[in-house]
Each structure stands twice: as structure tokens, then as C-alpha cells.
Amino acid sequence: MAASHRSLEPALAEHGLRLRGGWIPTPQDDLPSLGGGAAPAVVWMVGQVGSECWPVFSGSPFFSDGLPDPMDRWSKSIGDDLALRHGGVAVYPSDGPPYAPFQQWAQRAEPLQRSPLLLQIHPQYGLWHAYRFALLLPDLSARDRHWLACSVAMPTADLCLQCDGQPCLTACPVGAFAPHVYAVDVCADHLHGGQGQPCMERGCLARRACPVAIPHHYLPAHAAFHMQAFGQRH
């Protein structure tokens, strides 16, 4: 069954996810082919805003089964199901190498900018959003084609250059951030030490210092989940 943005939105909302826009691919994008070798007609970007997905994910078996990468596996269960139902393919940021250029794909769907913390900043959601997967589908209705054309990401004034003092660059206790530079080892050493608990329990202090979209801050449990995952990798 062909999927429209109006049918995808409520299906994703059941999981606390959102349709984050989409874009029409060209042959130069070199995307995976669909069934029968057909080329995708549209790429829908799917993600989260704030902690909207946290109650659903944290209540799922993936969260508590003790296996690695619970959120990635949860996302894949949703994306693969939607792709199967609509004759498409789901692509995930964790697939690879080679990895799909998700940041570039996201910039084709929404008005994102690169922040000094190297995270993509959104004018409404700030730094408090993420992309869980992309749905490559075989059909695009004339209505959805028009919707995409009307909602195409337009460049906006640089939020970070307009920010008074850029507090994100001075909030890190160990100075792990400079403009567009992230000292991962310095950050990881701090998190594993006794002074890193505030970051581990509530999320990165530099990220939380950003004044954009404060109401979308991750819940403490959600932030701690991601920080613990980062700490296990570094």
C-alpha cells in the first residue's frame, strides 16, 4: 500500500517518532534499489524530537533485554516493519561501513545548521532531536510531491552566530569543545572520572547550555541513557 505523509505521521506517532520531512532522490544519490530493482521515488526522514519517544522505547522489551544497542534495535523494528508494509527499504545511521550520509540527507529535509558542538541545530528543536532512520519508498503522490515542494528546507539566519556569547563553548568543565572541534578523549576521560557525574546523569553540560529550544531538553533518564552508551564506547 502506498504511503503518504498523512498516513505515516500517525503510524510514527504511536512510537513517539515524527516524520522529519523528506526529499526526492536523483540517480546521483546512489540509493539502495527496492524490490524488482526499482529506484526509490522518495526518501522520508524519521526521527525524534525531545524525549517524545522515551516512554515508548523505555517501556519496550529492547530497553530491558540486556542486549547491545537497544535503541538502534528498537528503531530497526519500527523502520523495517514500515518498509515491509509499503514495499520500501529502511536505512539506518548505524548501517555500515559505508555509512549513509544522514546529516546531508537531513539538511535536504529540514532547515538545519551545523552548531559549534558539531551537532545539527534546528530552529525549533535546537540540539534536542535525532534521526532514527530513513524510509525509501517506491511511490510519491502528486499531493505529497507538492507538499515536499512547499516545505523544502530554506536557509535561515545562522542561529549560533547570532547567539550572545555562545555559552555552549564555555560550559564544558574540561574545555572539550572549541568552535567545530570536539576533543573526544578529553570528554571521555572526564565522564569516567568522579567529576563527570553531572554530565552522566543529566546530559552534556555544553549541550544543555544552548539557549535554543530549552523546553525540548531530553528528560534526565533519556539523557543519561545516551551518556552511558557514549561512555561504553569510549
Q: Which residues of the chain have pLDDT under 50?
A: none
> How many structural domains does the chain have?
2
At 145-162, the pLDDT tens digits run: 999 988 766 667 889 999
Residue 151's pLDDT is: 78
C-alpha cell at 226: 545516551
Three-class SS of residue 88?
coil
Contact indicator for 40, 34 with CB cutoff of 8 Å: yes
Residue 1's pLDDT is: 53
CA dist list (Å): 170 to 56, 193, 207, 208: 34, 20, 11, 12
One domain, residues 187 and 221: yes
* Helical ranges in the chain per DSSP H: 5-13, 54-58, 61-64, 70-85, 102-109, 142-150, 184-192, 197-202, 205-208, 220-233
One domain, residues 74 and 135: yes
- Helices (runs of H) and strands (runs of E) counted in the chain: 10, 8
Residue 16's pLDDT is: 98
Residue 153's pLDDT is: 64
One domain, residues 104 and 27: yes
Residue 180's pLDDT is: 82
In a domain, 183, yes or no: yes
One domain, residues 139 and 173: no
Q: Which residues span the domain enclosing 63?
A: 5-150
Q: What is the pTM of this model?
A: 0.94
Residue 155's pLDDT is: 61
**228 Cβ contact list (under 8 Å, min separation 6):** 200
At 183-227, the pLDDT tens digits run: 999 999 999 998 999 999 999 999 999 999 999 999 999 999 999
In a domain, 191, yes or no: yes
One domain, residues 141 and 194: no
- Distance (Å, whole) CA 228 – CA 20: 26
Backbone angles phi, psi at 24, to 5 degrees: -100, 120
In a domain, 129, yes or no: yes
One domain, residues 94 and 171: no
